[in-house]
Structure 1
Amino acid sequence: MSALATPDAAVGASNGARGSFARRLLRRPVAIGAIAFLALLTLACVLAPLIAPYDPKEQDLAAVLSGPTGDHLLGTDTLGRDVLSRLLHGGQRSLLSVLEGLAVVLAIGVPLGLLGGYLGGRSDRLLSRVAELLMAIPAIILVLVVLAVLPHNEDAAMVTFGVLGAPAVLRVVRGATLKLREELYVTAARVSGLSHARIVLRHILPRVTGPVIVQASIFAAYALLFETGLAYLGLTADPTTPTWGGMVAEASTVMQQQVWLLFPAGVLIAVTIMAFGLLGDAVRDAAVATEAPGRRRAVAAAPAGIGEAAAADERPDALLRVRGLSVVLERGGVDVPIVDRVSFDVMPGETLGLVGESGCGKSVSALALLRLLPSGMRVAEGEIGWEGEDVRRYSDRAFDALRGSTFAYVSQEPQASLDPTFTIGSQLVEVVRNHEHCSRAAAKERALELLRLVEIPAPERIARSHAHELSGGMAQRIAIALALAGRPRLLIADEPTTALDVTVQAEILALLRRLQEETGMAIVLITHNWGVVADICDRTVVMYAGQVVERCAVQEMFDRPLHPYTLGLLESHPSLATARGALPSMAGRVPAPGDWPAGCRFAPRCRYARAECEAAPVPVRTVEPDRVSRCVRVEQVFPVAEEVGRR
């Protein structure tokens, strides 16, 4: 039977990952010791009415402060009551108080931390301010007020303590979530059309369990100290009710007569606190070790200049119409332009290439189309038309429905776009079920079909694998399979052949061509590789410093580039290098947004630049039907462009 056809296969719900976590945890002697101690302590306290040798209130006045004896293994207190029995019965109240406080802390801190970190913006700022306000309140003062209103009510005291402790957990979870939401596998999940709630619960929450466990263990230790402190002061129970703190308080009054009485409760409290801490550390380390290391996407930001509008040819039958798309970065209260009024069309079934060096705005433009811009960036203006409708006007909920089923996305870092904690099959099943609302069995069959579609050998075995077990080419095929799970009509592929060897690049491009022929989907291909452009693209948009500088059919661009930047890119292709000559290259680099020149942004690197080029921003020109160029000297560049085209 196939791996995807069995309920206990790894494609189900990360059973393999959970098994690995349990094995790693149980390999740690400290973890085993802490778990065993806490389990035995809890069991003993729960069974206290059955196993305690005496009633906790029973007095033996003939054996007051006796110390350990055969009748009283841990001695007796000031009234001759059995210390062991009182420890067992007192543990019920102490451990219950810890559980109450811990439940409140996690119930408030974890959901609100996930909410603030994932949503960001105003929600995050509001929750952060509330958390800071609560953390400024001295816990003991507020708990004393509660106990003044509700005398000896330990439940109310521990719930209040939990509420005041929740902001610490909230801040830790928020910080971890802020980082995780920028991971490519979270972006991939959003593009696949998964709901925000599902992404948070399945792909973010498991990754913040380490920090949560550490915080929970620390809080449990503090809660036990706090509870024993209140009992020590006699604020939460009457003197006859056994509590660990009350026993310590009683022992402190007779230290000159019998120092032993301080040890049973004091040592038990100390060892229990230590066990909480050691267990938290061990569980955190095991959880971290279970996950394979992944790469994190970094988005560089820089200040910007002023953009100029770019005209586009009117194509009424276009599938995707982008007009005047501008993206800005909020920095210090100032909007810094990153992408400057980019315009282009994508026709049904065609492949459009976005070409340019790194830092030209290609990936940011694509992420803007998908509403997946990094934190701090936003679309300032522009129109994104899909079959005649401006989807920029869609609500977030309405636009979410387009991801995966209408638009799909393949990252340039395929392994980072796969969740390392789940098997490949389980991730495919999740996306398929989200789009097709089918049974798990049908989703497993569809997942295997997708793996075969992208030419994965031994799909059953690969379905049981994790991301770190795949090669780069295999991971890229899996990323494409995930993108196809919702049967999209437009696939945005961000440098899908980067970091792959030449043979694997050719296989991925051949796969994209075949999939396009079979499904009829359109493709927007982001690349800086002219070989990829020539192999698969129908039309090309060349970008430089956040602007479109040239747009036309691929063959025309190779034959007659009409912008100096396009010409420079073509002349820099390694295929033009001679056996003994230097590798051709363009001098200079793409300017950071804050360093954009006032005139033509390519002028500092352009060998044809004149004073007129630097005087003012250069608008885009329609040079020929379906051809535009952002250059005031097209006529002077044109003869050279023809020369390059003939090589």
Structure 2
Amino acid sequence: MTAVEPAAAPEPSPPAPGRDHLLRRTLRDPVAAGCLVVLVLVVVASLAAPLFTDYAPDLSIMGDTLAPASGTHPLGADGVGRDVLSRLLYGGRTSLLGGTLAILVAFAVGGPLGVISGFYRGWFDAAAGWIVNVIMAVPAIIVMLVVMAAVSQDLNVAMIVLGVIMAPMVFRLIRASVIAVREELYVDAARVSGLGDGRVMRRHILPVVVAPSVIQATQVFAVAIGIQAGLAFLGLGKASQASWGAMLSDAFTNIYNAPMLLVWPGAAMGLTILASSLLGNAVRDALGTTERPAVNKRRKRGARTGAPAADTPADRLLIVEGLRVGYPRPGGDKMVVDGVGLTVARGEVLGLVGESGSGKSQTAFSVLGLLPDDAEVTADRLTFDGQDLLGMDTAALNRLRGHGIGYVPQEPMSNLDPCFRIGFQLVEPMRTHLGLSRSEARTRALGLLERVGIPDPERVFRSYPHQISGGMAQRVLIAGAVSCAPRLLIADEPTTALDVTVQAEVLDLMRSLQQEHDMGMILVTHDFGVVADICDRVAVMRGGRIVETAPMRQIFAAPGHPYTRTLLDSTLDGGPVRGELSADSGADEPLKGATS
């Protein structure tokens, strides 16, 4: 038997949607709707077999042996004179029941064991793991043959045994899923708050298990139908029990005289297995989304507000007016950016400042078009260099990103693909946007690496990301961001992961590159020290809104909004010297305070 690989354990996800929402979302997918229709037809035709044929599936009429399709036998007769349509319909009952039995037994055995093992771990996990390993070491086909010989020739008995044999795959999948979410802090918080284990499992654990379980169930169903057909093909099972495998065996015997006999059971098996697998994928996707369907993430709100793109002033590179970003939630939309307006002139550095969660990165990603699919983005006006960003399709945005708007991410190591060398990741964008040859792009990449202060560009060009330091990776990303000569550079907390010395070097580098290429720049940060070093103008965000915009010197000298003053007061630069601290150990000399 071919082992079913457990589906990958998911990341912690929100609770599954309700039944009505799940059904509606699944049916919106045309592939899922088509698969559901196929499965419903198979089930209905199998259950209503007596309505479609007057023949019993095991009735043999020797005079009708290999009879062609006719009014008496719509699909013909097989090698012993049995009606093909009748055996096809009744065989569907056998296959569907066998697949269902295998799923029920596999999840009845493996599901609870997986949940308990993953949640409690300890001795139970060790014992369950040992039992699972023993079951997996047993030859599945031999066990089924022995059980059928000792207990019953009924194929359903073999499917029950198959369910037990496949339970370890279910166990491992569910155990991995439970462990993945069990380590989350919100689960510990739920337990600390007094919730019992049963309630924690029901509210936080089981919703995560459902989606991968759906995929695993379709895999078990497909394997069960295939193995059942294989057993029947070998002549096992009751003679009176119609099955698609037995039909294939008869068709194989008469392949030269009636090749069409292979088509009907083969098509029925293929369509059923394919439809169940694709439907499982669609249900899994629906379970993994929020309760409301995703909306178009780049949608204009109103045509009459805001100036048209053609009226953009010549010195304004980016204009944002009335920008709103929201996410659907069960209780209503969650607005994370609400009415933001800002501008960036050519050659200007704008600092976008605020505490974590104020909407800075969401604003920047709105300009880049990199928000998740369920984000709803609206704006009175969102233009870059006279181009309407909200009106662009994905292909136009891809052409603009990199060449028109560059981006320096926050985490350098996680934004470099570990599977490719640094040189490849620098060369490909230049070949795409600038049309350079491979050798020309390589020469330009080496020059950029040298320009950003990397002492051995050739070595770094040939290196993989894990072979360079974090500060060097940040320089590589900056080189990549300016490689296609963008007019606007968006840097999202570019120095957060770096030490103080490297921060200063990176800021000097970005400022010099910005002046060298006369780029506009948006620097997303919460660090006023960075703002003072590099920015010309500052926009302060709080709760998704811009509360103050002013030149950098004015922000530091005379902030106009109380929140800006609060942010400035929260920094340690220029703070009072702490008093003397007494040593707890009773030393004679007191510990002198240090300037913060």
Match of 2:29 among 122, 126, 129: 126
- Equivalent in the alignment of 1:540: 538
Tell me the equivalent position of 2:576: 578
Report the count of equivalent residues: 349
Task: Measure, in 2, the Cα distance between the counterparts of 1:321 and 1:514.
Answer: 24
Q: Distance in 1 between matches of 2:451 and 2:537?
A: 26
User: Could you say which structure has the greater relative contact order, defined with CA pairs below 8 angstroms and 6 or more residues apart?
Assistant: 1
Provide the C-alpha distance between the structure 2 equivalents of 1:485 and 1:316, rounded to a whole number of angstroms.
Answer: 25
Q: Distance in 1 between matches of 2:568 and 2:518?
A: 30
CA contact (8 A) 2:539 2:548 kept: yes
Q: Does 1:346 align with 2:344?
A: yes
> How far, CA to CA, are the matches of 1:430 and 1:148 in structure 2?
60
**Amino acid of the residue matched to residue 428 of structure 1?**
L
CA-CA distance at 1:321 after TM superposition:
1.0
1:503–1:332 distance in 2 versus 1, CA, 3 Å: same
- In structure 2, relative to structure 1, the CA distance for the partners of 1:463 and 1:136 (3 Å cut) is farther
1:390–1:239 distance in 2 versus 1, CA, 3 Å: closer
Evaluate the alpha carbon distance shift between residue 134 and residue 123 of structure 1 in structure 2; reply closer, same or farther with a 3 A threshold.
closer
Change (3 A) 1:240 1:346: closer
Deviations 1:104-159 (A, max 9, x none): xxxxxxxxxxxxxxxxx9899515743872695597998999x985989xxxx9xx
CA distance 1:123–1:135, change in 2 (3 Å): closer
**Separation (CA, whole Å) in 2 of partners of 1:148 and 1:547:** 71
Counting only pairs closer than 5 Å after superposition, residues 23-422 of structure 1 correspond to structure 2 as 125-126=28-29, 129-130=32-33, 133=36, 137=40, 149=75, 225=227, 228-229=230-231, 231-232=233-234, 233-238=245-250, 241=253, 317-332=315-330, 334-422=332-420
Kept after mapping to 1: 8 A contact 2:26/2:33: no
Structure 1 residue corresponding to 2:549, chosen from 541, 548, 551:
551
Question: Which of 450, 462, 465 is equivalent to 1:464?
Answer: 462
Q: Deviation at 1:456? A: 2.2
Which residue of the other structure, out of 516, 523, 526, is the alignment partner of 2:524?
A: 526
Deviations 1:416-446 (A, max 9, x none): 1122222222222222221123333333333
Aligned AA for 1:318? R
Residue 218 of structure 1 and its aligned partner are, at CA, apart by 7.8
Q: 1:485 & 1:503 partners in 2: Cα distance?
A: 25
* TM-score using structure 2 length: 0.50
Query: Residues 135, 389 of structure 1: CA spacing in aligned structure 2 closer, same or farther, 3 A cutoff?
Result: same
Rounded to whole Å, the distance in 2 between the matches of 1:342 and 1:500 is 30
Deviations 1:262-298 (A, max 9, x none): xxxxxxxxxxxxxxxxxxxxxxxxxxxxxxxxxxxxx
- Alignment partners' CA distance in 1, 2:254 and 2:362: 64
AA at the equivalent of 2:431: R
* Mapped contact 1:315–1:345 kept (Cα < 8 A): no
What is the CA-CA distance between 1:235 and the residue it aligns to?
Answer: 1.4
Secondary structure in 2 matching 1:235 = helix
Is the alpha carbon distance of 1:441 and 1:221 closer, same or farther for their aligned partners in structure 2, counting shifts above 3 Å?
farther
Instruction: Deviation per CA, 1:38-75: give whole Å up to 9, x if none.
Output: 9xxxxxxxxxxxxxxxxxxxxxxxxxxxxxxxxxxxxx
Find the counterpart in structure 2 of residue 284 from structure 1: none
CA RMSD of aligned residues (A): 4.5
Correspondence 1:436 to 2:438: no
Using the alignment, how far apart are the partners of 1:461 and 1:217 within structure 2? 47
Cα shift at 1:462: 1.9
Alpha-carbon distance in structure 1 between the residues aligned to 2:27 and 2:447: 41
Question: Is the CA contact 1:448–1:459 (under 8 Å) kept in the aligned structure 2?
Answer: yes
Query: Does structure 2 conserve the Cα–Cα contact (< 8 Å) formed by 1:326 and 1:382?
Result: no
Identical amino acids, percent of aligned pairs: 43
Q: Deviation of residue 365 (structure 1)?
A: 0.6
Instruction: State the alpha-carbon separation in 1 of the partners of residues 231 and 76 from structure 2.
Output: 18
- What is the Cα deviation at residue 400 of structure 1? 2.6
Question: Aligned with 1:496: secondary structure?
Answer: coil
State the AA in 2 paired with 1:536. Answer: I
Give, in angstroms, the shift of residue 517 of structure 1.
2.1
Q: CA deviation at 1:387?
A: 2.6
Could you tell me whether the CA contact under 8 Å between 2:306 and 2:380 is conserved in 1? Answer: no
Structure 1 spans left out of the alignment, 5+ residues? 1-33, 39-97, 99-120, 177-210, 244-309, 583-647
User: CA 1:409–1:131 in structure 2 vs 1: closer, same or farther (change >3 Å)?
Assistant: farther
Query: Equivalent residue for 2:452?
Result: 454
